[in-house]
Amino acid sequence: MGIGFLCPGQASQKVGMGLDLYENSTLGKQFFDTANDIMGVDIQHIIFNGPEEELKQTQFTQPAIYIVSVIIGMLMLENGIQPSCAAGHSLGEYSALTLAKSFDFETGLNLVKVRAEGMQFAGTQNPGTMAAVIGLDDETTQNICNQYSNGIVVAANFNAKGQVVISGEVDAVHAVMPLLKDAGAMKVIELNVSGAFHSPLMTPAKEMLSEMLLSIEIRDSEIPVYANVTASPVSNKDEIRQSLIDQLENPVRWHESITRMIKDGMNHGVEIGPGRVLQGLSRRIDRSFDMSGVESLEQIVNFDYV
């Protein structure tokens, strides 16, 4: 029995998120002000006022979601809600590890800043795209990607049963999309992204991020965090460091992570951050898993978990 903090990744952002946390909580104001100093740009203004096109840029999106998610999680902890474990989808893994006390807010934001800038850079160096594959099993999707030999295309996110995201070179992804439809996919939808995330095209970002990850102090986490790369709980600082280094070029095993979490006795998950993406995925993974979300100060104050 227990509760898991689940932190969202890129694409959950929305203009105005976290404004109530900034205006009505001391911790929120403190963290947002610290974030402006670390970012070297007025990230508060971008988050609170947009425009949306600017907030959607990878170098701003990732820090923005991290900032808001960590503030929400910290306020939940202050409010006496103690999770038994945590996990985060891609970028969300950094929020989860901050809430699990592997590193502090400032260290996490510095890492996310480098990660986001690295991924944006990798996207210009190695142009790529991603596509969501709906209604096809994981193995078939993976096999079709593996069998394609005229370019790089891989399965990047195993999100839920019948929902996989592929990633790779633009021409390779475009070539594989009709093959997936022919194999029985209900839909194959190209995503509006700035690069081929969780694929070998992210090597430049991995190199930039690895350098920083190897230079900072990471602590053993206070609660297990289910790693994207392995879908297994980790708490050892060296394993955490390695999982973050490996994460950029490898698939997010979200479906497996949630299934394993449930098997390990978790019966309630809370999406800590903006949007409802993870709540939607949880319904597709296992409807018996009790899932809720918290993205405002009012929801934090009124959060009731029995």
1-60: pLDDT as tens digits:
589 999 999 989 999 999 999 999 999 999 999 999 999 999 999 999 999 999 999 999
When the pLDDT of each residue in the chain is averaged and rounded to a whole number, the result is 96
Any bridge partners for residue 133, and if so which?
A: 164, 188
Which residue among 12, 25, 69, 198 is the active-site one? 198
| Residues 255, 142: Cα–Cα separation, whole Å | 15
Please confirm, yes or no, whether 90 is among the known catalytic residues. Answer: yes
| Residues 96, 98: Cα–Cα separation, whole Å | 5
Q: Of the candidates 298, 279, 304, which has an alpha carbon nearest to the alpha carbon of residue 289?
A: 279
147-171: pLDDT as tens digits:
999 999 999 999 999 999 999 999 9
| Residues 91, 66: Cα–Cα separation, whole Å | 8
Question: What's the CA dihedral at 109, 115, 117, 120 to 10 degrees?
Answer: -140
What single letter denotes the amino acid at residue 15? Answer: V
104-116: pLDDT as tens digits:
999 999 999 999 9
Go through the domains of the chain in sequence order and give each one's CATH number.
3-124+200-301 (3.40.366.10), 128-190 (3.30.70.250)
- What's the mean pLDDT in 230-234? 98
| Residues 10, 62: Cα–Cα separation, whole Å | 6
Three-class SS of 96-118: HHHHCCCCCHHHHHHHHHHHHHH
Which residue among 12, 25, 69, 90 is the active-site one? 90
**Is pLDDT at 306 greater than 70 in this prediction?**
no
pLDDT at 1: 57
Does this model's pTM top 0.95?
Answer: yes
| Residues 112, 126: Cα–Cα separation, whole Å | 20
For 244, left (φ over 0), alpha (ψ -120 to 50), or beta? Answer: alpha
pLDDT > 70 fraction of the chain, expressed in percent and rounded: 99
pLDDT at 145: 98
pLDDT at 194: 87
**Is pLDDT at 69 greater than 60 in this prediction?**
yes
Of 23 and 194, the structure prediction assigns the larger pLDDT to: 23
